[in-house]
Amino acid sequence: MSIMSYTGGTVVAMAGDECVCIASDLRIGEQMTTIATDEKKVHKVSDKVYVGLAGFQSDAKTMLEKILFRKNLYELRENRKVRPQILSEMISNLCYQHRFGSYFTEPLVAGLDDQNKPYICCMDTIGCVSAPRDFVAIGTGQEYLLGVCENFWQENMKPEELFEATAQSILSCLERDAASGWGAVVYTITKDKVNVSTIKSRMD
Amino acid sequence: MAGMHFLVGISTDDYVILAADKATFAYGAILADSENDKEYRLGKKLTMMCIGEEGDVAQFGDWTKRNLQLYSVRNGYEVSPASAHHFVRRSIAHGLRSSDRYTVDVLIGGYDEKEEKAFLGSVDYLGNGLAKQPYLFRGFCGRFCYAIMDREYKKNMSEAEGLIMMKKCIGEAKRRFVANIPGYKVVIIDKNGYRKLDDVLF
């Protein structure tokens, strides 16, 4: 089994009309054994900027520490909040700096910029960014997600529709992916508030 | 999954129970010692149980203990359990990508004075860290015990109930695991402090 699926986990993000949604499962395992059922893989980085880190949990934690460190330095130096576009560039650079001994985690960035334009992107372990306008998925359930997102995603969704689409997509992914599960947490980021909801899925 | 050894950790908001086997195995087949202490005290209400490669356990355990001791001498206060856990995880994860890594699995238990809550966390030899968990195991026997705890764990169980559960887990390890584990050291930490309980012997 590859190190990328050792602990398991999935993150997905979708973009709507002046809103984005980012969701992750809650399982952490050691290969086939589930060890914990309350590990979020989505982290708040700035006001309307969230990062998802799927892959090897150890490296995801280390990476998150490094991301927060760099983001804090940026915000202090520039005296302004980080935009998601900037953050993804920072993370991409961080990943590529470890090109020949990479961290086994795939980062995902979702957020609203200063014009409240949605931005989502994901990258591979060495920081190759892809930033489509519709949806991104990373982790062990990526294959299951991309297909189902294709069906649920529509142009210019409002926050409520977007939440529903994201939640339904990750739920159907968790039905199939054995390395992810135990419910999910969904963050809906809009221009004046962030809504966090925890949803149940098959709890095995 | 550190070989034949076994660590148990059970916690509620009020207390945390930790148990570690007392065995030393040699060549994967011989019980070389039945009085091996795997515990490293990291503070007044903070302790760590450590299994893995024998030499690494001794070296890493001692290193962690003395670094946290140094911290409390320098700053005049002890680190919180969550901070100690963060430090241990970071050290192992950092070591993993250097030429000298420690092949150790640990459980960390303590009582957080600020939050007024007991803490239980684990770190494995790859640097995967879990904090604030109700129950954790390290070692092969843990595989039976997660199932037991999933069924039996209650959030507000008493200390006595917690100890019964811990003994149930150890009993299952005795029943199902091939190796002869001679006994377990048991400690408990709550708001009143640290206590070593009677060993569980067979």
Looking at every residue in chain A, the average pLDDT score rounds to 96
Reported confidence tier of residue A104, pLDDT bands at 50, 70, 90: very high
Give contacts of B125 with chain A, Cβ < 8 Å. Answer: none
The structure tokens 């803490």 sit at: B119
What residue ranges do the domains of chain A occupy? 3-199
- pLDDT of res. B1: 52
User: Cα distance from A6 to chain B (closest Cα, Å)?
Assistant: 10
Separation of alpha carbons A53 and B97, rounded Å: 19
- Sort strands B30-33 and B39-43 into parallel, antiparallel or unpaired: unpaired
- Sort strands A33-36 and A28-30 into parallel, antiparallel or unpaired: antiparallel
Domains of chain B, start order: 7-201 (3.60.20.10)
The structure tokens 């904090």 sit at: B131
8-state DSSP, A114: T
Give contacts of A31 with chain B, Cβ < 8 Å. Answer: none
Cβ pair A48, A190 in contact under 8 A: no
Give contacts of B128 with chain A, Cβ < 8 Å. Answer: 7, 28, 30, 56-58
Contact call for B89 and A65, based on CB within 8 A = no
Task: Look at residues B184, B155, B48 and name the one whose alpha carbon lies nearest to residue B110.
Answer: B48
Separation of alpha carbons A169 and A165, rounded Å: 6
Q: What mean pLDDT do residues A159-177 have? A: 96
Closest by Cβ to A61, choosing from B89, B136, B142: B89
User: Cα distance from B84 to chain A (closest Cα, Å)?
Assistant: 15
- pLDDT of res. B202: 76
Give contacts of A7 with chain B, Cβ < 8 Å. Answer: 128
Token pair, residue A111, equals 């957020």
Among B94, B102, B126, B148, pick the best mutation site for testing chain A contact (most A Cβ within 10 A).
B126
In B, what residues contact A, Cβ < 8 A?
1, 89-90, 93-94, 96-97, 122, 124, 126-130, 133, 136, 142-143, 146
Q: What mean pLDDT do residues A55-72 have? A: 97
User: Cα distance from B134 to chain A (closest Cα, Å)?
Assistant: 9
Nearest residue of B to residue A57, measured between CA atoms: B128
Name residues 9-38 of chain A within 8 A of B (Cβ). 28, 30, 33-36
Cβ pair A48, B139 in contact under 8 A: no
Q: Give the number of beta-carbon pairs within 8 Å between A and B.
A: 41
Question: CATH class for domain A3-199?
Answer: alpha beta
- pLDDT of res. B171: 94
- Per the DSSP assignment, residues forming a β-bridge with B49 are B39, B107
Using CA of residue B59, residue B60, residue B64, residue B67, what is the dihedral sign? positive
- pLDDT of res. B174: 92
Amino acid at position B186, single letter? V
pLDDT along chain B (202 residues), means of 10: 86 97 90 93 96 94 97 97 97 93 96 96 96 96 92 94 95 91 95 95 82
8-state DSSP, A81: P
> What's the Cα-to-Cα distance from A103 to each of A57, A106, A173, B9, B173, rounded to whole Å?
10, 8, 25, 30, 35
> Could you please report the per-residue DSSP string of A151-201?
HH--TT--HHHHHHHHHHHHHHHHHH-TTS-S-EEEEEEESS-EEEEEE--
Question: With an 8 Å Cβ cutoff, is A119 touching chain B?
Answer: no
Closest by Cβ to B128, choosing from A34, A57, A65: A57
Alpha helices of chain B — where are they, by DSSP H? 54-75, 81-96, 142-152, 159-176
Name residues 55-114 of chain A within 8 A of B (Cβ). 56-59, 61-62, 65, 101
Reported confidence tier of residue A203, pLDDT bands at 50, 70, 90: confident
